[in-house]
Amino acid sequence: MKKILFVCLGNICRSPMAEAVMRKLVKERGLEKEYEIDSAGLISYHEGEGADPRMKAHAQRHGYKLTHISRPVRETDFDEFDYIVSMDDSNWDRLHRLAPTLEAEEKIVRMTDYCHTHVIDHVPDPYYGGAQGFENVIEILEDACEGMLEAIDN
Ligand code: 4NP
């Protein structure tokens, strides 16, 4: 069993989207029993809320249903998960500060390091932008999640 936690700032746009994309890929490949997938945020401001309605609407157009409820990253996540996936440099820095041990820090990876078709170093935060930002997030995450599954599924 491999356990993946996707992390962004609010846990209402990028990381719940990443969670849905990875769940779909895992399901398509018949690997549901081999993966546990969750997401969390670095701020608790949206705790208890569903995903951003704009992210949900764009997701739906691409065949994804976002059901995750926002929750903050917990210290125990560093024990429970094998991969803690950050969306940008700020997430990366904050996760490193939260990680309780060196072993925990080694679990932190960058989502965009798994991209095959995008040459980028972060998943841009769509929260304060327009529709194109949400479309861009989905496109990047589909590329990155495919690359990640290919890289870790052995
Ligand atoms: P996310 O987007 O990190 O992709 O979920 C954001 C959600 C909320 C806020 C910022 C980014 N916020 O400032 O509340």
Query: Which one from 8, 13, 115, 145 is the annotated catalytic residue?
Result: 8
pTM score of the predicted model: 0.98
User: How much is the average pLDDT of 123-139?
Assistant: 97
Q: What is the pLDDT at residue 154?
A: 81
Q: What is the pLDDT at residue 39?
A: 98
User: How much is the average pLDDT of 55-67?
Assistant: 98
30: left (phi over 0), alpha (psi -120 to 50) or beta: left
Query: Which residue has the least CA distance to atom 6 on ligand 1?
Result: 10
User: How much is the average pLDDT of 122-148?
Assistant: 98
Query: Which one from 13, 14, 23, 145 is the annotated catalytic residue?
Result: 14
d(CA 51, ligand 1 centre) in Å: 10
38-65 exposure pattern, b = at least 16 Cβ within 10 A, e = fewer: bbbbbeeebeeeebbebbbebbeeeebe
Active site residue 14: yes
pLDDT tens track for 11-60:
999 999 999 999 999 999 999 999 999 999 999 999 999 999 999 999 99
Relative to beta strand 83-86, strand 2-8 is: parallel
User: How much is the average pLDDT of 143-149?
Assistant: 98
Cβ of 129 less than 6 Å from ligand 1:
no
pLDDT tens track for 82-126:
999 999 999 999 999 999 999 999 999 999 999 999 999 999 999
